[in-house]
Structure formats: C-alpha cells, structure tokens
Structure 1
Amino acid sequence: MSVDVVGRPAVRPDQVTLGVLISRFGCWDAGWSVPTSSAVTQARKRLGRRVFAEVFARVCGPVAGEAGPTARMGALGTARGSFLRGWRLLAIDGFEVDLPDSEENAAGFGYAGSGGNRSAYPKARVVALAECGTHAFVAAEIDAYSVGEKTLAQRLYPRLRGDELLTADRGFYSWQAWDIAASSGAALLWRAPTQLDLPVVRVLPDGTHLTVLIRPTVRGARRERLLTAARAGADLTDIATVPDAFDKQGLPVVHLARVVEYAVPDRAGNGTGEVITLLSTVVNPGDARADELAAAYHERWEEETGNDQLKTHLGPGRVLRSRLPDLVHQEIWAYLIVHHAINALTAAASAAADLDPDRISFTKVLRLIRRTATGTADIPPSGLD
C-alpha cells in the first residue's frame, strides 16, 4: 500500500471505481466514513438521556406470551416460572454499576461509603422489574447511588398491570410501598420483614391465615376498631361500613393480606430451620394454593440471573465508558434494551424447540449474535428502509 505526502494511505484507482459503482447502485455512500469516537460522543451529547429511556419503554414489553387462564407451559416463553394461574410472574431487584471517576459522574451519581471508606468509582443505582421465566427486564429506573432501592421501586409500582404478580424480597416492604403497588391492580407476593406485626384475622382451610396491614400512623382505639371489623368479616374497602379504614382524603389506611408461612426442610447453612413468611394480595385459597405461592416466590431469584447476564456477560466489565451523567444513562439504557432483545430471541427459540429458556446458554446466544452482527456494523443507517 502506498502513502501520500501527508501520511495517509493512498487510494488506489480500483477503490475509487468500486466506490462509484456502489454509490450508483444506491447501497452505499462512497463519501461516508465511520465516525470517530469524538464525533460519536458529540452526537450522544446532543441526544440527551431521555431518548433511550423512551425507546426502552416503547419496545421492551412482556416476552412470555399472554397472561390469562389459558396460559400454559410450552407457549411462547411460558416456561417454568413464567406464570402462576392467570398472572405473569415478575420480580423486582436492584444492582449497582461502576462509572468512570470523572468530576461530572462524581457530582451526578456519588460514591458508595464516605471519606476514606468510599468506593473507588462513582456508582449508579438501577432497580428493575423482570419476568421470572425469561429474565427480560420490562421496566427500570436509574438514579444516583444515594437514591435508595425502595425509592426507585416506588417509581416502578404504578407501572404494574392487572395481569401481573410481583414478587419482592423483604427489603422492599413498607406500608407505603405495599399501598402503592396494590393500588396498581397487580397481585403481590412479598416476603414480610421479620419484625412486622401480623395479627391473625382468620385462619383459612389450607393453613394460611388472613391479616391486616395498617398504616403505621394509625394507632390506639382506631387500630383496635379496624382489627375488630376485620375479624368480624367486614369489607374493609367499603367506606360506608368501615369509615375508619380511610383517611380524610378517602385513601385506604388498611389492607387485607394473606400470610403463607413455611420452612425449607433440606436447606443447609445459616437458613436451616428459618421460617419464611410471605404476604400476598391473593386472599382466596381457590385462586392460588399455599404451595403454589411458595414456589412462585422462589422464582424471584431468576432476576438475579438477569442481573448477572447484563453486568457480567453483556456489560463491558468492571466500569462503564461514559464520563458524563447523560451518557451514563444512555449506556445503561442501551444495555437494558440489548439484554431484553437477547432474551426475547431466546424465548422465541426455546418455544420453537419446546425448551425452557433456562436451558439455552445466554453467553452462547450472545456470541452468536456478535458474530452475525459484525458484518453490518459499519453500514450507515441513513437511507435504509
């Protein structure tokens, strides 16, 4: 290869001819070249942080088929852990992302710890809703490390749907969180904190029992009246018959919930003999048996697999690349979108082969996609249908 007087590779005549022919056929612009890294960064700055979040909201919906009474194993993505009766099983969890140690990221996201014990890198906090059966994230919130998981989770609860059942660890429980999530119309199945007072309202035939979750500010005689009304079988959602169940704004101060308690007999380690207490809005045993609810709760751990897929295998490794907060948001949303696309593809492939998506390796699918995508990586998007 020859070099011109300014040190750039000289263009051969056959390259010029090839470029003219490609342009003439309309499949390539010979004047286009791959943008430099700085040009891409400048374009990303102009784009801002909201576009990728909107793309995720528009395209990253449920993957595991349709919920409803007919949802069954073997339909698209309806693998083990996808549905309980007519509800789509979701889990909520959070994870942290290390960011480049720039002044802008430090100001926008902050560090874990403080003083001499602070983390080496700024951290972003992400809380997401994921399908248990497919690991696909269907909603997420991104913010500074100082913003707690409970705060981010409360932004997600209003997005729940009536055909979904949300599982959550005990760290997410508070009366306010339960109230917001329950008002969405979705079913809930959360582990109860150890010290939570759960008075027995009525023992059900399957050994579970009903309890009432009362707003912490409601105490004394009013609390006792609510307990008495619940034990008498009053409809706590009827303000006419139980006015104590509502505040001055007409909002409920009490929720009826079902308590499922069990232990895992073959569990080893520190959890041996531990009683697991679950709270659920599914108060009728005919809608879901106690053993079904217990099994559904343990599907919550599938989101941990999704977090690992995104951070360890799909992600760039230990630290993101973006040195500005807006670009950090873009990068995290981009990973969430790509992760969703991969799991949607896996769910479709597993349905075609009548397999559980868990039987298909995420890393192998990722390598296959990367091999097939590199051939078109430098094609400009303009002019393409």
Structure 2
Amino acid sequence: MLVLLDTGFDGWPLLLQLRSTGAEFLCRSGARRIPLIIKRLPDGSYLSTFGMEKLPVRIIEAWITVTYQDGTVRREQWRLATSLTDHARYPARELVDLYHERWQVETTYFSIKATMLDGRVLRSTCCTDIDQEVYALLTVYQALVRLAGDGHQPAASGSRPDQLHRRSGSRSRPSHQRRRGHPGDVALAGTIGRAILDNLLPTRRRQRVKARTRKNPTSKYSKNSTQYPSSAQRYTLEVEIIVMEQGLKARSSANSTVLRLEY
C-alpha cells in the first residue's frame, strides 16, 4: 500500500508509525524542512533522513508548470518525500505524476456526500454518534469499492480499475455468485457488475482546474469570488526534476507565479 499525504503531514513520528504497518508513503514536504543530501540519484532525486536519522527517505524536488487553456501559465515548487528509495523501480517523474492524481480523493468525498447521503447532513447530535455515522459511511463506501474491485476482470472487460464508477454500483442491488471450487471466494455478478461495466469512466480523465468557491451561504469561509480561474479550464502539466540548492520558497505568491499570456 502506498499512502499519499498532503502538506503538513510530513512529521517523522507519523511517517514512522505509518511505515510500521508495512505501508509506504509519498507526501509533500514544506519549505521549513532542509533535508540533508546524503546521496544524489540518477533521476534527480536524492536520499536523506527525517528525525535525526530515524527515518530514511528519498526526496524529489521539482518545478511544476501548469498551462491553462486560455494561455495562463502557473509555476510552483514541489518537494516530495517518500519511503520508496529505489529510483530504478520508482522513477521520480512517475511519483510526481502519481502525487498529482491525489486530487481524485475528492471523488470519494463526492460519492459519500452527494450519492450516499444524497446531500443530507449527518443526523447525529453528539460526538460519539457522529463518529459512528462517519465510520459507517466509510465502511459502506469501502465495501462498494471492494465489490467493484473484486468483480473487475481487465482481460474480459477491457477496462482499467480506475474506470469503475462507484456511483453505478451504489445505486444497484447486490447480487453475488460463488465461484465453483473456491469456497469463500465471491465473484461480482448480476446487477452490480452490469451497472459498473456499462457505465465506465473515460480511460484518460480530462485535467481541469477551477478556483475553490464557497457554495453554502452559511459557510464561515470567504467566497473567494475573485480567485482565478473562476470557471473550469483544461490544462497541461510539465515537470522538471531539479534539486533546489537554495531551498524552497514559502508557499505564497513568491512560490507560485502566475503569468497571463495574451494571444
């Protein structure tokens, strides 16, 4: 298992605890941390340690250039830390591309809030019951994901696992068949299987970007109506793996440069 973590979760005690479970990690590290370069690797990354040599890590630093469809160009610095230290098996560029796909966790939130809850708020009024509701929702969602994954047969369907649409499965009635000769091995069949395979997502999803805005009028957050871009745009992504010899700039306007190009 490879766990992707956002900025702010790169503390060595947390990562060490995560590694003790047998999982690997790939997280974004901030500008305050100054990793010691122990060994430079051919793909542009380097080996280092966190927590006074308690946790060996591999550092990947890169310039990320995003070009919107209207010609706007945005550049920012990334520093990723990972427990995958084998650069030959896990090239730096592939890990950067993988981390970029971390946004897909938003589809999980959407599935839970919009599909499973149908837009309703949690009905519980005390912390204990809220915990119970949240765990129940996560358990049901995980069951749907497992159903879709267990029933996925790439050779037969010609599809990829990330094309499976959880929403199709959640709106279908379960129907299971046991495979002969394999006690306890459940195969996805019937309504759920057909619903998922008949509503596959595109092989390659479009890369789109839009400034986050406030949708709930009672939200405590600002509207962000002046943020750019105000409407969804497609974009292309370019990655330049390079060691930031002078360190990273703070995540601010100095770290993220936006240029608007006129045609």
TM-score (norm 2): 0.56
Equivalent of 1:368, from 166, 169, 172? 172
The equivalent residue for 2:26 is 189
Q: 1:314 offset after TM fit, Å?
A: 0.8
Q: What letter is aligned with 2:95?
A: L
Q: What letter is aligned with 1:365?
A: G
The equivalent residue for 1:167 is 4
RMSD of aligned residue pairs (Cα, Å): 2.9
Give the Cα separation in 2 of the matches to 1:283 and 1:204: 10
Alignment of 1:225-244 (within 5 A): none
Does residue 296 of the first structure (1) align with residue 98 of the second (2)? Answer: yes
Q: What letter is aligned with 1:369?
A: R
Q: What letter is aligned with 2:119?
A: G
Equivalent of 2:159, from 355, 374, 378? 355
Give the Cα separation in 2 of the matches to 1:356 and 1:339: 19
More off after superposition, 341-350 vs 263-272: 263-272
1:255–1:364 distance in 2 versus 1, CA, 3 Å? closer
Q: What letter is aligned with 2:167?
A: T
Unaligned runs of 5+ in 1: 1-163, 216-252, 374-385
Equivalent of 2:17, from 158, 176, 180? 180
The equivalent residue for 2:49 is 212
Alignment of 1:313-352 (within 5 A): 313-351=115-153
The equivalent residue for 1:285 is 87
Give the Cα separation in 2 of the matches to 1:172 and 1:271: 28
Q: Based on CA coordinates, which of the two structures has the bigger radius of gyration?
A: 1
The alignment partner of 2:14 has SS state of helix
Q: 1:349 offset after TM fit, Å?
A: 4.2
Equivalent of 2:58, from 250, 255, 258? 258
Q: Render the CA deviation track for 1:325-353: whole Å, top value 9, x for unaligned.
A: 44333322222222122222222444352
1:349–1:182 distance in 2 versus 1, CA, 3 Å? closer
1:271–1:318 distance in 2 versus 1, CA, 3 Å? farther
Q: 1:191 offset after TM fit, Å?
A: 0.9
Alignment of 1:10-49 (within 5 A): none
Unaligned runs of 5+ in 2: 175-190, 193-263
Does residue 198 of the first structure (1) align with residue 2 of the second (2)? Answer: no
Q: 1:357 offset after TM fit, Å?
A: 4.0
Q: What letter is aligned with 1:315?
A: L
1:175–1:270 distance in 2 versus 1, CA, 3 Å? farther
TM-score (norm 1): 0.40
Give the Cα separation in 1 of the matches to 2:136 and 2:162: 23
Q: 1:301 offset after TM fit, Å?
A: 2.3
Q: 1:168 offset after TM fit, Å?
A: 0.9
1:271–1:166 distance in 2 versus 1, CA, 3 Å? farther
Q: Greater helix percent: which structure?
A: 1
1:199–1:267 distance in 2 versus 1, CA, 3 Å? farther
Give the Cα separation in 1 of the matches to 2:123 and 2:67: 41
Give the Cα separation in 2 of the matches to 1:270 and 1:185: 42
Give the Cα separation in 2 of the matches to 1:270 and 1:315: 37
Q: Render the CA deviation track for 1:238-284: whole Å, top value 9, x for unaligned.
A: xxxxxxxxxxxxxxx53222111223333449982112111112222
Q: Greater strand percent: which structure?
A: 2
Number of aligned positions between the proteins: 172
C-alpha contact (below 8 Å) 2:84/2:90 kept by paired residues: yes
Give the Cα separation in 2 of the matches to 1:323 and 1:303: 27
The alignment partner of 2:172 has SS state of helix
Q: Percent identity?
A: 28
Give the Cα separation in 2 of the matches to 1:286 and 1:357: 25
1:182–1:359 distance in 2 versus 1, CA, 3 Å? closer
Give the Cα separation in 2 of the matches to 1:270 and 1:278: 25
Give the Cα separation in 2 of the matches to 1:343 and 1:287: 28
The equivalent residue for 2:210 is none
Q: Render the CA deviation track for 1:273-319: whole Å, top value 9, x for unaligned.
A: 11211111222212311122222222322222112211221125241
1:183–1:338 distance in 2 versus 1, CA, 3 Å? closer
The equivalent residue for 2:248 is none
Give the Cα separation in 2 of the matches to 1:170 and 1:207: 21
C-alpha contact (below 8 Å) 2:26/2:83 kept by paired residues: yes
Larger RCO: Structure 1 or Structure 2 (Cα < 8 Å, ≥ 6 residues apart)?
A: 2
The alignment partner of 1:265 has SS state of strand
